[in-house]
Structure 1
Amino acid sequence: MIIRVVIAGPRGKMGQEAVHTVMNDDNMELVAVLDHKDLAVNLAQYEQFPEQYDVPVYTELHTLFDAVKADVFVDLTTPLAGYEHTKTALFAGVRPVIGTTGFTDGQLEELTNLAKSSEIGCIIAPNFAIGAVLMMKFAQMAANYFPDIEIIEMHHDRKLDAPSGTAVKTAQLMAENRLSHKQGHPEEHENIPGARGADFEGMRIHSVRLPGLVAHQQVLFGGTGELLTVRHDSFDRKSFMTGVKLSIEKVMDLKELVYGLENIL
């Protein structure tokens, strides 16, 4: 069966890679793309893509779903747009695969309930890189033995949310195995507010935003006389495409929302 795919954000760096991934897969068909800017009516008219990419472009998601029969909707845009797009896709009976991070707990709960009541598969993945998922699982395991933890996540300077979805997901996984406690000196004082980073159940999360970076994270575990570091680096956005392709395939068999790529590996 050929999976009919729609991609939102085709001009973005992640979106471009996703377009090429789907177009080069014999088991998938890119049936349309969603672009918030009215720049062209066909993907082949974009300078980022070759002329054989004969795919219609829409600026409004409701119109797209009315005009095109789709199986999977891939969103790699922004947190605000991703949330609204996911709801629209679920109401339209199209399975969302979402790489956008920054959803609130309330939004995730609403989308989870909507997917479950509709019996429509949905995957929201803070990180599509297989290595990043393994990094999170290794960190979760280590939290059993090293309860004093700090996360340093580093991304490009165009990223909108902080901490990253990967950092938050990592902290949530580690919290399942770690006794919550406040780290550092009990009388610790920040001379500059925010110097110690965000506080997640006593763990500290530090966000770095610089040009030249893609997506990087290290988790530091401090013990008596030792330091354990678990780190992952994505140097190219192609690193995320294995997870995107896997999610498109797996979401076809789901009837509920799955949060995190580790749950479908």
Structure 2
Amino acid sequence: MTEKYRIILTGAGGKMGKDILAGIMKEPDIQVVGAVDFKMIGKDIGFYAGEEAINVTIQDKLEQVIIDTKPQIMIDFTNPQAVMKNIRTALSHKVASVVGTTGLTSHDVEELAELTEKHQTPVFIAPNFALGAVLMMRFAQEAGKYFPHVEVIEKHHDQKMDAPSGTALKTMEMIAESRKEMHQGASHEFEKIPGSRGGYYQGMRVHSVRLPGLIAHQEVIFGGQGQTLTIRHDSLSRDSFVPGVLLAIRNILNMKGVVYGLEKLLW
């Protein structure tokens, strides 16, 4: 039998962590050997994920879990305040990282590039692991060649900490590769309420909605002469991210340095 990927998950006590655990534990080529969070400490992850107990419990000290379990890969779904510390810890022990936590800055990515070189261990980062979301971004990039007037509306649950979302930022970065920076809207427009026109990125506007009941949704609206074009993706449940996480797990050990974006694994 092929050797299994040895995985630890940080952020295991959150909603995303729970659903990722439930998804990857079912795979015959994956063995979850550890889980880290400041919530649900001592909880068996098998039982926690709705399966049989597997004698692996959630712990609160990442480095100790790495030392005890000797994983190959860390999956991180935590928060912007914790993610860099977690990746630094993993890299120092030559554990590859699959990162779904958003909020990383360009400075963070530059630091990670140096650390991956130093430790000869890869880091894979994706602002969105849903395959449909990646296709949405690709289609939007293509549309930007023909429709330079564009606004992005992203909607997430009300516990999301960063805005705009990593997916929205990545989408605008990709569109910016297809169009020149330009001003949109009336030349003398003004806001009666500050922020009404949304955030600004190379002439594009982005709007972030945070409400209970939402998971992860985005629409990219293009405007042209006498027409509009809308490209939209909706994650209706968190298990929509599992196929992308599995794709990253099965490819990361062959990567070098920092790899950013699930599209790197699709085309």
Q: Which aligned segments of 4 or more residues in structure 1 are displaced greater than 6 angstroms?
A: none
Which of 1, 15, 18 is the matching residue for 1:13? 15
Alpha carbons of 1:11 and 1:231: their partners in 2 closer, same or farther (altered >3 Å)?
A: same
- Does 1:39 find its partner at 2:41? yes
**Structure 1 residue 162 displacement after superposition:** 0.4
SS in 1 for 2:41: coil
User: Scaled by the length of structure 1, what TM-score is found?
Assistant: 0.96
**Structure 1 residue 104 displacement after superposition:** 1.2
Aligned counterpart, 2:156: 155
| Equivalent pairs, count | 264
The code of the aligned residue for 1:222 comes to: G
Aligned counterpart, 1:261: 262
**2:41 touches 2:57 (CA, 8 Å); kept in 1?**
no
* In 1, Cα distance between equivalents of 2:143 and 2:173: 13
Moved more, 246-255 or 53-62: 53-62
Aligned counterpart, 2:202: 201
* In 2, Cα distance between equivalents of 1:61 and 1:233: 33
The code of the aligned residue for 1:229 comes to: T
* In 1, Cα distance between equivalents of 2:40 and 2:144: 48
* In 2, Cα distance between equivalents of 1:246 and 1:147: 33
The code of the aligned residue for 2:67 comes to: D
* In 2, Cα distance between equivalents of 1:136 and 1:248: 22
Aligned counterpart, 1:123: 124
Deviations 1:127-177 (A, max 9, x none): 000000000000011111111110000011111100000000000011111
Deviations 1:12-70 (A, max 9, x none): 11111111122211101000100124731643575x54442321332111111121110
Deviations 1:199-241 (A, max 9, x none): 0011000000111111000001110111011110110111110
Alpha carbons of 1:117 and 1:67: their partners in 2 closer, same or farther (altered >3 Å)?
A: same
User: Scaled by the length of structure 2, what TM-score is found?
Assistant: 0.95
Aligned counterpart, 1:186: 187
SS in 1 for 2:228: strand
- Does 1:30 find its partner at 2:32? yes
* In 1, Cα distance between equivalents of 2:98 and 2:112: 12
**2:4 touches 2:30 (CA, 8 Å); kept in 1?**
yes
**1:116 touches 1:257 (CA, 8 Å); kept in 2?**
no
Unaligned runs of 5+ in 2: none
